[in-house]
Structure 1
Amino acid sequence: MGKPRIEEWTQLRGIAFLAIVMQHNIAEYIYRSDIEQPDSIMLTMIYHLTRFGTPTFVFLSGVMLFYHHRQAKPEYTRFIRKRFGDIYIPFVLWTLIYWLSVRIFTPEFWSSGTLDLRSLIRELFIPQTGYHLWFVIMIFQFYVLFPLFWIGVQLVYRQIIKITRITPTRSVLFLVLIAAGIYGLLMKWSYYDMGGWAASLSQPWSTLLEYRSYSWVMYWFYFLLGAVCAWAVDTWRNWSVRALPWMVSIFIGMYIWLGYDVLRGSGDVVNLNISTYLKPTTFIIIMAQMFMLYGFLILLRGKTTKFLNLLTWIGRYSFGGYLVHALIIYAIAYFTRPLQLGGWHLPITLLSFLVTAAIALAISCGLSRLPGSRYTVGLQRKRKHNSPVHGLDGMDPRRTPGPVTPVRASHSRETS
């Protein structure tokens, strides 16, 4: 028997995928020289509705791993081999696709007569043409280290059940608050201090700090929060609903503050990097958004609507959609960049978002039905005779959530 289906996880992943696509479309248009101030401000406001994207998918990665391996530690060789095939091979394939797609439209590529394989190797470690693929590098670190996380969570769990003075739920809440405080301090160091540290340190430490957004260290709190959710799903659901009024209030307050902070700190061109993921205030709004959306999904739980069915479908194909969506943005930009869009950046961005999401998901769905789909979109195609369709976690994506999807979170050019 498979584990019970947790529908809201798939739906939450669908919402986060749409936020990712919107965020990258905004980054394509908001920095153009002919953008007018009203469009720039409106795109900034929409941008701050998408900040939960990447951290939510780190959270969902932790949820899925701990949910499916709650009873026993995975056999490491088999575990990492499967994740390598489901996640890393698609990353390598799409890295090659992005690397080639950008270069074949460059005249120098044809005149030089060389492939510049050194730049391709660099893309496998520091993606630039496939700028969004950094997330696969970062999240794969959690898969590699997962057995250590599993052992740590088990040790903490055994200690919690020994405590008699307070309930296990309160013990977990207390630990989560301590972890949040530590993580908030890490965000403070990242945003205000680590840039200076990188300038004063020698190699390789300065490089590690410069590319700190590629490291699991900067996202560990969301992953372990996923473990809390996976260990007590019903308690998490109840708490999300009870905390909903507080989360809405915090979100509204932080939404106003982040918008004001960006507009105040920007010059003639809006600087969205002021709202980087690796910042304490952004961490607060991300947590409020994540819990708020989870609470709303719980309130809608059990209801069958076209909207929820659509979110479930989007979540199912989100990993493949994530891999391909930047290529769609490139294709649209090929036609829009030569145009003068003064006064039209907002509607063009919204239209580009809809087209990008629709085509990316259609491609992901189509590839999932072809041979070798595991290595292109992380899903095995549907077999005959009602055989299961395996997702990233070896489970039927029609029963349980499948792969995760992300968005770029960098301390430098986060939205490039």
Structure 2
Amino acid sequence: MENRLREYDFIRVLCVLGVIAIHVTSHFVTRTDFAFIWNQLSRFAVPMFMLLSGFFLFYQDRKLQLHQRPSMKKRMKRLIIPYLLWTIIYALYTQSGLLHNQNYFMWIDYLFKSLWQGKGYVHLYFMLIVFQFYLLYPWLRSWYYRSPNSMLIVSFILTVGIQSLIYLSQHDKVGFLLPKLWWSYSIPIPVWIFFFTAGMFLAQCREHWENWLKGKTLWLLLAWALTFGLVVMDTIWSRTYTLSNKPSIILYCFICFFLFYHMGRLFYQKKNPLHSIFNWISEQSFLIFLLHPLLLSYLSSLAVTNKLEFMWKGNLGIVNQYLITVIVTLLITYLLSRFSWIHLLGGVPPKRRAKGIAANVTHTPNQTT
């Protein structure tokens, strides 16, 4: 059985917590400096998920020969079924008025458009991006083995070029209209392909760059501070407060990846009761990602209904909303993860977790978990 790499569990946890932070702070970025800084701090999360997708796919298939085609059937199934079910769940939640008024055909029309366009809710577009990666992965893998340099260069040009166009179209001092697509410009694969292919490259040469990073803590922190400062200044200048696909974030994402890996290595050096918690969150990160916007929206509306909006006011209110959303999401995820059918919603069922634990017992300290 393939076992997870511990440091990358750490990275995945920071990514899912970062996505929740983006969604909590997005309504406040122009209201308070605190929300703005926190939001920009978390902008690594979405592109890093793309990077991790390429990393893990390539790492899992590292023992396959070039002529052997990677099996994608189960992987696609694990993506498509949760996407269908969560789009239905969010359609029931957001369009309940249509059903209440017996406008069933309008609801079905909304559902099919949401499935096709990835607009079932604010985060579901991500699923369509990963779906495209899965479709193209066998071909990308073959291309990578034939000519890794050309693939990385082409994907870099595509991602930087298209992200620059998107960025400039929303730039406060430039601004222009891009041609209309049936999808949002966040969905087509060229927008993100460099993160995915770079993840493949990082998986192949993992030992080299991991060894190179040893003893470079201060340099990583300095690089992180500089790139984050660049993101903040760029966002203020361009007024692209809620945009994650822009050139300045590309550099920030990669620096964060190396820094988080280094932090993860330090985190797992000594025994810590938090290890099992981080491993579990990483294991259930897909379900947490899919579930948390529903709970965030419900908790917000619940506060309004019960005249508790004061809980969300000010910087302390933003922190309250974040912590409550995270805690409630983790609790419900834990309860749902007890059921064997939870894989249909993107979770990891008990039997699969038990196998993972059994496999980890045989690990030596320097192996992956």
Alignment deviations for residues 200-256 of structure 1 (CA, whole Å, 9 cap, x no partner): xxxxxx316x62211221111111121122213221212334554333223212323
Which of the numbers 94, 118, 123 marks the counterpart of 1:127? 118
- One-letter amino acid matched to 2:260: L
Distance in 2 of aligned mates of 1:153 and 1:126: 30
Residue 177 of structure 1 deviates from its aligned partner by 8.0
User: Does the 8 Å contact 2:85/2:345 carry over to 1?
Assistant: yes
Q: Are the structure 2 counterparts of residues 336 and 262 from structure 1 closer, same or farther at C-alpha, using a change threshold of 3 Å? A: farther
Residue 87 of structure 1 deviates from its aligned partner by 1.3
User: Does the 8 Å contact 2:20/2:322 carry over to 1?
Assistant: yes
User: Does the 8 Å contact 1:10/1:401 carry over to 2?
Assistant: no
User: Does the 8 Å contact 1:85/1:374 carry over to 2?
Assistant: no
Which of the numbers 128, 133, 145 marks the counterpart of 2:136? 145
Distance in 2 of aligned mates of 1:367 and 1:231: 35
Q: TM-score, normalised by structure 2?
A: 0.84
Which of the numbers 186, 207, 216 marks the counterpart of 2:181? 207
Which of the numbers 285, 288, 292 marks the counterpart of 1:321? 288
Alignment-derived partner of residue 166 in structure 2: 190
Which of the numbers 370, 373, 380 marks the counterpart of 2:349? 380
SS at match of 1:132: coil
User: Does the 8 Å contact 1:328/1:356 carry over to 2?
Assistant: yes
Distance in 1 of aligned mates of 2:368 and 2:17: 16
Residue 302 of structure 1 deviates from its aligned partner by 2.7
1:43-54 counterparts in 2 under 5 A?
43-54=35-46
Alignment-derived partner of residue 62 in structure 1: 54
Distance in 2 of aligned mates of 1:52 and 1:207: 26
Q: Are the structure 2 counterparts of residues 183 and 87 from structure 1 closer, same or farther at C-alpha, using a change threshold of 3 Å? A: closer
Alignment deviations for residues 310-361 of structure 1 (CA, whole Å, 9 cap, x no partner): 3222111111111111110111110334655499232222122122222222
Alignment-derived partner of residue 283 in structure 1: 250
Q: Are the structure 2 counterparts of residues 320 and 110 from structure 1 closer, same or farther at C-alpha, using a change threshold of 3 Å? A: same
User: Does the 8 Å contact 2:47/2:195 carry over to 1?
Assistant: yes
User: Does the 8 Å contact 2:338/2:350 carry over to 1?
Assistant: yes
Alignment deviations for residues 134-188 of structure 1 (CA, whole Å, 9 cap, x no partner): 111111111111110110121136xxxxxxxxxxxxxx7x996896566434432
SS at match of 1:214: coil
1:15-164 counterparts in 2 under 5 A?
15-30=14-29, 37=31, 40-72=32-64, 79-104=71-96, 106=97, 109-116=99-106, 117-156=108-147
Residue 60 of structure 1 deviates from its aligned partner by 1.2
Distance in 2 of aligned mates of 1:374 and 1:337: 33
Distance in 2 of aligned mates of 1:292 and 1:230: 16
- One-letter amino acid matched to 1:368: S
Alignment deviations for residues 23-45 of structure 1 (CA, whole Å, 9 cap, x no partner): 111124557xxxxx5xx111001
Distance in 1 of aligned mates of 2:350 and 2:311: 45
Alignment-derived partner of residue 329 in structure 2: 360
- One-letter amino acid matched to 1:294: Y
Residue 59 of structure 1 deviates from its aligned partner by 1.2
Higher helix residue share: 2
Which of the numbers 299, 320, 325 marks the counterpart of 1:351? 320
- One-letter amino acid matched to 1:92: L
- One-letter amino acid matched to 1:225: A
User: Does the 8 Å contact 1:369/1:382 carry over to 2?
Assistant: no
Residue 90 of structure 1 deviates from its aligned partner by 0.8
SS at match of 1:372: helix
Residue 125 of structure 1 deviates from its aligned partner by 1.9
* Segment drifting more, 279-288 vs 46-55: 279-288
User: Does the 8 Å contact 1:62/1:226 carry over to 2?
Assistant: yes
User: Does the 8 Å contact 1:95/1:130 carry over to 2?
Assistant: yes
1:176-187 counterparts in 2 under 5 A?
180=156, 183-187=159-163
User: Does the 8 Å contact 2:311/2:320 carry over to 1?
Assistant: no
CA RMSD of aligned residues (A): 3.4
* Segment drifting more, 55-64 vs 320-329: 55-64
Identity score, percent: 20
Which of the numbers 213, 222, 225 marks the counterpart of 1:240? 213
SS at match of 1:312: helix
Alignment deviations for residues 273-299 of structure 1 (CA, whole Å, 9 cap, x no partner): 3xx222111222222222211122223
Highest relative contact order (Cα 8 Å, sep 6+), 1 or 2? 1
SS at match of 1:272: coil
Alignment-derived partner of residue 300 in structure 1: 267
Distance in 1 of aligned mates of 2:197 and 2:368: 18
User: Does the 8 Å contact 1:62/1:223 carry over to 2?
Assistant: yes
SS at match of 1:130: coil
Residue 111 of structure 1 deviates from its aligned partner by 2.5
Distance in 2 of aligned mates of 1:193 and 1:103: 31
1:263-282 counterparts in 2 under 5 A?
263-266=236-239, 272-273=241-242, 276-282=243-249
Distance in 1 of aligned mates of 2:295 and 2:47: 23
* Segment drifting more, 289-298 vs 189-198: 189-198
